[in-house]
Amino acid sequence: MAGRVGIVGAAVTPFRARWYEKTYYELAQWATADALKDAGISVDEVDGVFYGIYNDIFERTCIPEHPLQGIIGLQNKFGIRISNGGATGAYTMSAAHAYVAAERFDVVLVLGVEKATDCFDFQSMSSTPEVIKTIGWSGDSFFEQKLGWTASDSYAEVVLGYMDEHPDDLKPEITAAISAQLSQQVRNNPYAQRQFDQVTPEEVLNSRLVAYPFKELEICVYSEGAAALILAEEETAKAIARNTGKPPIWITGLGEANEHSFAGKKQKDMTRIMSDYLASQRAYKMAGIKSPIDEIDIVELHDAFVHQLEITMAEMGFVPRGRADALIEDNIMTPGGKLIVQPCGGLIYCGHAVGASNIMSAWSARNELISRGKRRALVHGTGSTVAQYTATLILEQE
């Protein structure tokens, strides 16, 4: 039987729209050093590293992880890079867990880093067009990219499919209320890109339309930053916890699923995010969870768009499909409600440094479990064309 794996250290750098004074090498060093300090161990005690780096073009090099190995002090040790679109961080944690659970290693580093806005478009004198074009290379480069594919319209396709099936759900006033709530929650996150960017539901509703039905204040912001975790096998995790005084947070459930990337009757069901449903069910089964709404306390999910947050919560069984608005209407995720959702502000307000984002979510979930004395958290990552990839983790405190 595979052994238990625990998170014993975690750190993030501040997420920013642009780190002018830091390279991605330096951001990686920073997060690594702080995670090691949090775990009270030296880099010599780490057996290997799992890199979450989404996009080569962002880092301006085809193998962005190769200089990091020596820079972070893990020369001559195991290192592997994971890249799964927006779900890169969650898949990186999953891969690291597998190696430790299989007793290959005792202690590993999970490191996500992204330097997205080093891309620059000299015609507009802005990074935005080049970042969007770079993300376009993530989709189908034979057909979709030439038609002007972007992340926003890709996710909008799924949302519109869901709305065709459930026309009374995802009401504008509800998505606006969720965005406004997240903007309040982010005030408690000093590492967030938009810590002091508080908005009202009315301001969200009146913000410009980007791709129907997404308003500007309902969309994640692209970020630069890094996040790191230290994972350890059971006995090592307990020993580290005795030294630091912080309890290990056990990874008790994992689930992954990759959908078809093309729409069609026997391909991608555009009314669903099946990857979210399948991955969460697999994670629940592994963790022994029967009723997620009753057994999970904290949810940190990949909210690239507010509408996708709602659909994901429904696919994961926290609300019925077709009744995602119950998150607000029935006070499920409102302050004092049944669930604590996106306490860090989510990707929309904390920021979306793609390879690091889900690792940041795990950092937040761990902090919240310990500080609030809660038992279970769910961490989720999704990404690529039409929310194709999903990885879900259940974190648990004894």
- Is 86 contained in some domain? yes
- Is 21 contained in some domain? yes
Report pLDDT for 337: 96
**What distance in Å separates the CA atoms of residue 286 and residue 280, rounded to the nearest whole number?**
10
Q: What is the CATH number of the domain that holds 108?
A: 3.40.47.10
- For residue 2, what are its two tokens? 């595979």
* Residue 10: CA count within 13 A, CB half-sphere: 21
Q: How many C-beta atoms lie closer than 10 Å to residue 190's C-beta? A: 8
Inter-axis angle of helices 151-165 and 306-315, nearest 10: 50
pLDDT of 73-113, one tens digit each?
999 999 999 999 899 999 999 999 999 999 999 999 999 99
- Is 183 contained in some domain? no
Report pLDDT for 1: 52
- Is 372 contained in some domain? no
Q: Is the pLDDT at 226 greater than 70, yes or no?
A: yes
Q: Which residues lie below 8 Å from residue 70, measured CB to CB, with a gap of 6+?
A: none
Report pLDDT for 26: 97
Q: How many C-beta atoms lie closer than 10 Å to residue 273's C-beta? A: 29
Q: Name the residue type at position 274.
A: M
- Is 140 contained in some domain? no
Mean pLDDT of 383-396: 90
When mean pLDDT is compared across 140-154, 156-170, 272-286, the lowest value belongs to 140-154
**What distance in Å separates the CA atoms of residue 366 and residue 93, rounded to the nearest whole number?**
14
- Is 353 contained in some domain? no
Which domain does 90 fall in, by range?
A: 5-119+222-244
Residue 213, preceding peptide bond in cis (omega within 30° of 0): yes
- For residue 218, what are its two tokens? 């309902």
- Is 10 contained in some domain? yes
**In sequence order, what are the beta bridge partners of 211?**
214
**Considering its fold, how many domains does the chain have in total?**
1
Q: Name the residue type at position 265.
A: K
**Of residues 352, 317, 351, the one with CA closest to residue 332:** 317
When mean pLDDT is compared across 82-86, 267-271, 290-294, the lowest value belongs to 267-271
Report pLDDT for 111: 98
pLDDT band of 124, cuts 50, 70, 90: confident
**Of residues 25, 24, 15, 82, the one with CA closest to residue 48:** 82
Q: Is the pLDDT at 392 greater than 60, yes or no?
A: yes
- Is 88 contained in some domain? yes
Report pLDDT for 319: 98
Q: Name the residue type at position 130.
A: E
DSSP conformation class of 166: -
Report pLDDT for 300: 98
Q: What is the pTM of this model?
A: 0.95
How much is the mean pLDDT over the chain?
94
Q: Is the pLDDT at 128 greater than 80, yes or no?
A: no
Q: Is the pLDDT at 152 greater than 90, yes or no?
A: no
Q: Is the pLDDT at 394 greater than 90, yes or no?
A: yes
